[in-house]
Amino acid sequence: MYVAAVAWEAGKPLSIEEVEVAPPQAHEVRLKILFTSLCHTDVYFWEAKGQTPLFPRIFGHEAGGIVESVGSWINTDRGVMLTDGKSRFSIKGKPVYHFVGTSTFSEYTVCHVGSVAKINPAAPLDKVCILSCGVSTGLGAALNVAKPKKGHSVAVFGLGAVGLAAAEGARLSGASRIIGVDLNPSRFNEAKRFGVTEFVNPKDHKKPVQEVIAEMTGGGVDRSIECTGNVQAMISAFECVHDVITSRSLYAGWGVAVLVGVPNKDDVFKTHPMNLLNERTLKGTFFGNYKPRTDLPGVVEKYMNKELEVEKFITHSVPFTEINKAFDYMLRGEGLRCIIRMGD
């Protein structure tokens, strides 16, 4: 028997429970989780806003740990394993569902091998565990998908951990202007550490924020990256990039918007077709176009080589028994990433 934080129903505090964790089957591994962190995606599905809510469930998907055993040798909707369609968790014989193939809010978890990346054993797991999702997603959205050039202007919608990682990627790319857009002004000072040069709070303006940004930049930004999941922010991010009419140079290329945030399952994206015909480009990305097993070790090496600063994303740390504090911090918009120490 092992200990896990179980969500019995939507929006209610997690309960520390003893769970049975079955041995791994073919193409699976059982991991001892040492450190994990809370991502907004966990909160989103815990609130039952995502596709196919399933309870009881063990959340968590940013983590570092050690392989304990292997079998004989991703999909957010799936609450069971790919191999046989069953859960590896149970309480008193009744199944408890998995989350995105990882369920790291547990002392031990069983994952498909495709959900596990082997990294440099010298890397501190209490730091690099946050590279498992949010930071890499935002960083990759900038470096791998938006691909701003030196001197470009970039707008980042949402200044949580993912958005600030996107800003960091834009900074590393040489962007000269990085405009942060957020409804929470308390995030603006912190964002300066990640390269954000200007700030816009949509609540301070009577006109749509895309029009505000267009006026600030003489027609629109070169790149925008949306990291909130709010469909209106997605539309604004798309419409704030410059088009063929407002392109400042025959050789500048036209604006590219990248959607990163996960929308509500009932949301609909609406924009006028002319916004596409005028050569704006709309892209989406999952995990920043990184392939987890092959690319994540390289992101860890960026940290080990001091090319990427991870510590500035970590604002809180709690023992596993106080995991609900991590949810409170995120729901109040306080801090970026909270490390959950499994051994405490």
Burial of 36 (0-12, 13-18, 19+ CB in 10 A): buried
pLDDT-based confidence at residue 71 (cuts at 50, 70, 90): confident
The answer to whether the predicted template modeling score (pTM) of the entire model surpasses 0.85 is: yes
Enclosing H/E stretch for 3:
strand 2-6
Work out the average pLDDT over 42-52. Answer: 89
Enclosing H/E stretch for 18:
strand 15-21
Q: How far is CA 257 from CA 223, 245, 254, in A?
A: 6, 17, 10
Work out the average pLDDT over 320-331. Answer: 97
Phi, psi of 4 (to 5 degrees): -140, 160
Per residue in 18-36, pLDDT tens?
Answer: 999 999 988 899 999 999 9
pLDDT-based confidence at residue 77 (cuts at 50, 70, 90): low
* Beta carbons of 279 and 157 less than 8 angstroms apart: no
- Over 90: is that where the pLDDT of 251 sits? no
More confident of the two residues 105 and 335 = 105
Work out the average pLDDT over 119-139. Answer: 97
Determine the pLDDT at residue 244: 65
- Over 90: is that where the pLDDT of 264 sits? no
- Over 90: is that where the pLDDT of 164 sits? yes
Which of 313, 273, 329, 318 shows the shortest CA–CA distance to 131? 313
pLDDT-based confidence at residue 250 (cuts at 50, 70, 90): very low
Determine the pLDDT at residue 134: 95
